[in-house]
Amino acid sequence: MANLKYLSGFGSEFSSEDPRRPGSLPDGQNNPQLCPYGLYAEQLSGTAFTAPRNDNRRSWLYRIRPSVIHKPFRRINTAKYLTHNWDEQEPDPNQSRWLPFDLPPADVPVDFVCGLHTVCGAGDARARNGLAIHVYLCNTSMTNSAFYSSDGDMLIVPQQGVLKITTEFGKMEVAPNEIAVIQLGMRFAVHVDGPSRGYILEVFDGHFKLPDLGPIGANGLANPRDFLTPVAHYQEIEVPEFKIISKYHGALFEATQGHTPFDVVAWHGNYVPYKYDLSKFMVINAVAYDHCDPSIFTVLTCQSTKPGVAIADFVIFPPRWSVQEHTFRPPYYHRNCMSEFMGLILGAYEAKEGGFLPGGASLHSTMTPHGPDTKCFEGASNAILKPEKIAVGTQAFMFESSLSMAITKWGAETCQKLDAKYYECWQNLPKLFSDKL
């Protein structure tokens, strides 16, 4: 898939046609009586028809066959640990930390869909409010199958292995330190070169947007032009059974059809899959004193209906200069009305240099105290505050949600990665209180 082309921009009205069929995109209308080259027109709606213009998302696909030609969906159980059941475990407000999730053994082929494991979540896809956090742990490419979620938009964060993603809109390649967003209903297939692991944030309502910048101004954080959308690329594959796998109400369903769904010759619209390279993030930080809240590192946000409150924010902790004077520079001690799920793509995270490892995770739930471990506190309290480049060669991230998430049985028990001793990292924080000012 080397040398893939992309369209640049965020939320734009794009159009694309496969160069092998020039003129395949109808000119000046969506529904010609007969489409060019005998194509079928199909609309993919990502918002209600009546959503305000600024929020409205839809695309028109011109394809060899309409998606409706398929046999009935039937329930499958190939992703045993994919769930929306948030009541599997007793509630647990403790700080949770997971060692890196295990990849499947080399002699057991597992593809992206079979490798989906739900770690935690909240809410209900049926009521279109909530989120699920999954990890994918796979080693094999999907063949003659395509996947889509009927429950939500998926923000995919590869941690190990490059994902070659074929979508109805075209192809994209997503490496660790890049992310992809595949929105509700968009069909895709994932090819991998070897063992592949990553995190998925699935939101059951709305779509990801760039955060408002307020006084920051017109530029900065994730810049719109760095978001890349695939260009139209059709395949003409006829097979006895191409599997279309839908995640619907947290369960998997499969329908077969005699052709590939990646048969879109041309498309236009503003409802598209996209990717983003996290190294392009324009970092804003405190340059005088104090630790800024991590919302300054928001890449994308999926807003709830409450102003300024997110169903989930995707936040990163990129390499940056730390220059604050007379300041305890690492993250502060914190209790939060939001839930904080963190993962690590590469390197180490400043507030905890051991135990939180690439491919692992942590969850600090609603109002559960968290913050730097003893070593970090002692080091930063006594450090000489020179300008320092921090987080070099690392990338930690956070899915921060206003919902209070429950951990699944797989996350709590089956994966066997929960670190029962996590709480110990704070137990040796000394009492420093004295009668001296």
Ligand X SMILES: O=C(O)Cc1cc(O)ccc1O
351 binds, among ligand X, Fe ion, none (CB under 5 to 8 A by kind): ligand X
Binding to ligand X, residues 398-417 (CB under 6 A): 398
Q: Which is nearer to Fe ion, 132 or 315 (CB)?
A: 315
Are the C-beta atoms of residues 250 and 85 closer than 8 Å to each other? yes
Which of 70, 84, 117, 291 is catalytic? The answer is 291
How far apart are alpha carbons 153 and 133 in whole angstroms?
12
Q: Which is nearer to Fe ion, 37 or 333 (CB)?
A: 333
How far apart are alpha carbons 64 and 180 in whole angstroms?
26
Half-sphere exposure in the Cβ direction for 192 (13 Å, CA): 23
CB of 382 to ligand X, least distance (A): 20
How far apart are alpha carbons 41 and 416 in whole angstroms?
48
Q: Which is nearer to ligand X, 42 or 92 (CB)?
A: 92
Residue 289 in marked binding region: no
Q: Can you point out the beta strands (E) in 286-437? A: 298-303, 310-317, 320-322, 339-346, 361-364, 388-390, 395-401, 406-407
Q: Which stretch binds ligand X (CB under 6 A): 2-10, 147-155, 319-327, 330-338?
A: 330-338
Residues near 407 by Cβ (< 8 Å), separated by ≥ 6? 89, 92, 96, 119, 120, 363
| 339-346 sheet: strands from edge to edge | 96-98, 361-364, 339-346, 395-401, 310-317, 298-303
How many residues bind Fe ion (CB under 5 A)? The answer is 3
Residue 370 in marked binding region: yes
Residue nearest ligand X by beta-carbon distance: 331
Q: Which is nearer to ligand X, 117 or 370 (CB)?
A: 370
334 part of the interface to Fe ion, by CB under 5 A: yes
Q: Which is nearer to Fe ion, 315 or 407 (CB)?
A: 315
Given 243, 340, 345, 403, the residue binding ligand X (CB under 6 A):
340
Task: Determine the Cα angle at 122 with ends 85 and 178, to 5°.
Answer: 105
Q: Which stretch binds Fe ion (CB under 5 A): 21-29, 151-159, 259-267, 327-335?
A: 327-335
Given 9, 100, 294, 379, the residue binding ligand X (CB under 6 A):
294
Half-sphere exposure in the Cβ direction for 19 (13 Å, CA): 2
Residues near 6 by Cβ (< 8 Å), separated by ≥ 6? 172, 228, 229, 230, 231, 275
Given 351, 391, 405, 406, the residue binding ligand X (CB under 6 A):
351
174 binds, among ligand X, Fe ion, none (CB under 5 to 8 A by kind): none
CB of 371 to ligand X, least distance (A): 7
364 part of the interface to ligand X, by CB under 6 A: yes
Half-sphere exposure in the Cβ direction for 136 (13 Å, CA): 29
Q: Is 134 a catalytic residue?
A: no
Residue 334 in marked binding region: yes
How far apart are alpha carbons 363 and 357 in whole angstroms?
14
Identify which of 353, 313, 316 has the alpha carbon closest to the alpha carbon of residue 131: 313
Q: Which residues are catalytic?
A: 291
Q: Residues forming the annotated binding site?
A: 334, 340, 349, 370
> Which residues in this chain contact Fe ion in the complex, by CB under 5 A?
334, 336, 340
> Which residues in this chain contact ligand X in the complex, by CB under 6 A?
294, 331-332, 334, 340, 351, 364, 370, 398
Q: Residues forming the annotated binding site for Fe cation?
A: 334, 340, 370
